[in-house]
């Protein structure tokens, strides 16, 4: 899985309404590719959420339900947190506060289907004095000792879905500014953590990969090349916590379902009107066009809505291979990912044409006919989106800008980028 770590300048130049701040965003994060399944949701169904929109879909997906978070402040043998009482207040607010918190972000983006709640009566535990050093950044040892000390206090792994370890950054000098298991429940964050990093790392816990951008010049999807560029329309792609999740990510978590998602299956043709992905109201908020073999294209309109996407606007498309929505790539036809009226995307006998775009809507036509097949695509293999770039499943990340590939351990691959003094935004 490629790891993006450089500014996404092309998108920003193309998108007049895109955030200039996001244009310089640098992803600085490490992920652990674990084998643990996503934690199951717990507690009440989303329908019980007072703030949920009437008619909101029950959130049957890996991200939904009450997700219990054990936040543990830790000290090391060679370094301690300077102001644990102050940090406890800050973390309580950052994780569970009413506004701009981890919980607030995912409640909003899931439309009430997911909540991040304290695992115990104390929102934040510790500081726990770990009998290990911070220097060297042995995050596995930190997690092992944290779990052991929590268990001694009566908090076992059955009591939480997520364990988030907050450590004194100055004692550890890690190369990364955040680390998380993909699909597991553990994250490691420095005590100077940002809201953007927090949302990003928990996105990994929900199974989401980094959002990257594929070069699909001319719109021929079978000729796309995977790049290390970020998409910028998600906190998983450098968009920060002011951006909502992108449509494929919403599909993965189970938060884009029912009438909110228009589907063009098999041979379906027609014109589809789209509302903003995170907007309210009836109608389709995204379109998924099946291409066969588990491949599909997701299309979305992004515009400010529900306090999200303040800096993300326009029509975007993503390619999904093998049904893996969590690893979808943004399709870049040459405008940095933005699509404009008249743009086309072709794959086999399928052609998607952008009919109209406006500030908060778009229309896309789907045609299925042999004459749509571009000559260069006729010899392509069966998978409707057989990219010619690197296979993300078998390629170790190429961390750009001096990023480093770190250790590979049993059952997991660890990688991270250099901190460079820049923070995940």
User: Closest distance between Zn ion and the C-beta of residue 210, in Å?
Assistant: 6
d(CA 240, CA 243): 6
Stretch that binds Zn ion, among 23-31, 159-167, 283-291, 352-360 (CB under 5 A): 23-31
Q: H or E stretch including 296?
A: strand 295-302
Q: Compute the Cα dihedral for 133, 134, 137, 142 and give only its sign.
A: positive
Stretch that binds Zn ion, among 27-35, 55-63, 117-125, 186-194 (CB under 5 A): 27-35
Q: How far is CA 60 from the centre of its chain?
A: 18
Residue 12 · residue 20 · CB < 8 Å:
yes
Q: Which is nearer to Zn ion, 31 or 234 (CB)?
A: 31
d(CA 210, CA 27): 9
> Which residues, 208 to 247, sit near Zn ion by CB under 5 A?
none
Q: Which is nearer to Zn ion, 29 or 81 (CB)?
A: 29
DSSP 325: G
Q: How far is CA 39 from the centre of its chain?
A: 16
Query: Is residue 29 a contact point for Zn ion (CB under 5 A)?
Result: yes
d(CA 14, CA 229): 14
Query: Is residue 199 a contact point for Zn ion (CB under 5 A)?
Result: no
User: Closest distance between Zn ion and the C-beta of residue 337, in Å?
Assistant: 19
Q: Which is nearer to Zn ion, 31 or 194 (CB)?
A: 31
Q: Which is nearer to Zn ion, 29 or 155 (CB)?
A: 29
d(CA 4, CA 397): 8
Strand partners, 117: 68
Length of the chain, in residues: 425
Residues 6+ apart with CB under 8 A from 16: none
Taking Cα atoms as reference points, which of 139, 117, 113 lies closest to residue 245? 113
Nearest residue relative to Zn ion (C-beta): 29
Query: Is residue 193 a contact point for Zn ion (CB under 5 A)?
Result: no
Structure token digits, residue 210: 């980094």
Stretch that binds Zn ion, among 9-17, 24-32, 164-172, 384-392 (CB under 5 A): 24-32
> Which residues, 31 to 60, sit near Zn ion by CB under 5 A?
31
Q: Which is nearer to Zn ion, 130 or 197 (CB)?
A: 197
Helix (H, G, I), strand (E, B) or coil at 148: helix
Q: Which is nearer to Zn ion, 162 or 285 (CB)?
A: 162
Instruction: Using CB under 5 A, count the residues that bind Zn ion.
Output: 2
Q: Which is nearer to Zn ion, 32 or 277 (CB)?
A: 32
Q: Which is nearer to Zn ion, 1 or 290 (CB)?
A: 1
User: Closest distance between Zn ion and the C-beta of residue 179, in Å?
Assistant: 8
Residue 293 · residue 268 · CB < 8 Å:
no
User: Closest distance between Zn ion and the C-beta of residue 31, in Å?
Assistant: 5
User: Closest distance between Zn ion and the C-beta of residue 413, in Å?
Assistant: 13
Stretch that binds Zn ion, among 30-38, 97-105, 266-274, 344-352 (CB under 5 A): 30-38
Q: Which is nearer to Zn ion, 31 or 101 (CB)?
A: 31
User: Closest distance between Zn ion and the C-beta of residue 365, in Å?
Assistant: 36
C-alpha R_g of the chain: 21
User: Where are any strands of DSSP class E within 60-171?
Assistant: 65-75, 114-118, 124-129, 162-167
Q: By CB under 5 A, name the binding residues for Zn ion.
A: 29, 31
């Amino acid at each position: 899985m490629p790891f993006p770590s450089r500014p996404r300048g092309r998108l920003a130049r193309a998108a007049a309404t895109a955030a200039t701040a996001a244009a310089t965003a640098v992803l600085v994060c490490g992920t652990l590719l674990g084998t643990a399944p996503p934690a199951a949701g717990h507690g009440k169904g989303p329908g019980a959420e007072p703030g949920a929109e009437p008619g909101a879909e029950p959130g049957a997906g890996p991200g939904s339900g009450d997700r219990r978070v054990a936040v543990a402040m830790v000290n090391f043998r060679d370094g301690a947190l300077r102001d644990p009482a102050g940090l406890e207040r800050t973390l309580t607010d950052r994780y569970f506060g009413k506004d701009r918190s981890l919980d607030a972000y995912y409640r909003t983006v899931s439309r009430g289907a997911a909540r991040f709640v304290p695992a115990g009566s104390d929102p934040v535990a510790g500081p726990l004095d770990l009998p290990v050093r911070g220097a060297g950044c042995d995050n596995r040892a930190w997690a092992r000792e944290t779990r052991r000390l929590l268990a001694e206090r009566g908090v076992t792994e059955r009591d939480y879905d997520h364990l988030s370890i907050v450590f004194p950054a100055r004692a550890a000098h890690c190369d990364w500014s955040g680390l998380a298991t993909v699909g597991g429940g553990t994250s490691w964050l420095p005590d100077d953590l940002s809201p953007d990093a927090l949302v990003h790392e928990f996105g990994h816990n929900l199974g989401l990969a980094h959002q990257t951008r594929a070069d699909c010049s001319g719109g021929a999807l079978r000729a796309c090349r995977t790049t290390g560029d970020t998409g910028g329309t998600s906190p998983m792609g450098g968009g920060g916590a002011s951006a909502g999740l992108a449509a494929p990510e919403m599909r993965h978590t189970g938060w884009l379902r029912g009438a909110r998602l228009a589907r063009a299956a098999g041979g379906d043709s027609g014109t589809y009107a789209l509302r903003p992905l995170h907007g309210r109201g009836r109608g389709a908020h995204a379109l998924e066009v099946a291409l066969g073999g588990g491949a599909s294209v997701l299309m979305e309109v992004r515009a400010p809505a529900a306090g999200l996407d303040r800096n993300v606007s326009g029509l975007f498309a993503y390619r999904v291979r093998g049904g893996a929505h969590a690893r979808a790539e943004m399709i870049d036809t040459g405008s940095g990912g933005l699509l404009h009226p008249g743009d086309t995307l072709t794959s086999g006998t399928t052609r998607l044409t952008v009919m109209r775009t406006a500030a908060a809507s778009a229309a896309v036509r789907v045609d299925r006919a042999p004459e749509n097949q571009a000559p260069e695509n006729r010899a392509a293999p069966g998978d409707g989106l057989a990219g010619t770039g690197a296979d993300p499943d078998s390629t170790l990340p190429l961390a750009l800008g001096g990023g480093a590939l770190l250790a590979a351990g049993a059952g997991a691959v660890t990688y991270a980028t250099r901190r460079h003094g820049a923070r995940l935004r």
